[in-house]
Amino acid sequence: MPAGAAVFVLDAESSDATADVARACGAQVEVRAWTGYVDARRYALGRVTTPYAFMLDADELLSDELRAALEGDLARADGFRVRRVTMLAGRAVRAAGWSAERLVRCFRVDRAHVVPNSVGGAADLHERWVVEGTLADLPGMIVHDSYPSVASYRERFARYTQIEAAALRGSRLACAIAVAKLPLRFVWLWTRYGAWRDGWRGAFVAWYSALYPVAVQWRALTATR
């Protein structure tokens, strides 16, 4: 993080040395039982005492350019979008827009709130920050290094689709529509962002990203039987 920044770490009772390492680096650490992705972010925002906040997940890193930008003047906007680059097995991937995301992550604390942003609608999983006011862009990037291997991605895929499915009522029609759209989604996700340049990583991500809504709808449908 930028030099001199006030860092607040919300630790969900981790079993490693996360809390101790964060404290040793000067962060304020609070250990709290896990209550879901969106709720954890809402709680953490309420603990921030500075005018602006930058939200960073445990599997993300700041580029040097972004770190320098956060040390500059933020008063020019109420919130800022940041590019996020996502890695798979040690390399950035373009497929499905993985490295073209521009996410709101820096914002005035009194102008921002977080809402669910999932296939399952109300599923407490993916989130989106909403800022009431002006938005601008920050240079640099967030490096999202959450999938060191194919196996780690598949494990996360299974867990996330199950969480999202639990927030849905199973529908044969919705499942059929998702299946019908699958090949079109794959072609779009494969070609739109130049995934072909990523070789097998691009094909893998495009396929599983196209399959994701099918898996969510299928899990929701079979759970209601």
79-88 and 101-108 beta bridge pairing: antiparallel
Is 198 inside a domain boundary?
yes
Token pair listed for 90: 């040690």
What is the phi-psi region of residue 159: left when phi exceeds 0, alpha when psi lies from -120 to 50, beta otherwise?
A: alpha
| Number of domains forming the structure of the chain | 1
Cα torsion angle, 77, 117, 44, 65, sign = negative
Helix ranges restricted to H, 72-129? none
Is 171 inside a domain boundary?
yes
Is 211 inside a domain boundary?
yes
> Is the separation of the CB atoms in 52 and 74 below 8 Å?
yes
Is 156 inside a domain boundary?
yes
Mean pLDDT of 194-204: 93
Query: What is the pTM (predicted TM-score) of this model?
Result: 0.86
Q: Give 225's pLDDT tier (boundaries 50, 70, 90).
A: low
Is 42 inside a domain boundary?
no
> Is the separation of the CB atoms in 27 and 10 below 8 Å?
no
79-88 and 135-144 beta bridge pairing: parallel
Is 170 inside a domain boundary?
yes
Give tens-digit pLDDT for 16-73.
Answer: 999 999 999 999 999 999 988 889 999 999 999 999 999 999 999 999 999 999 999 9
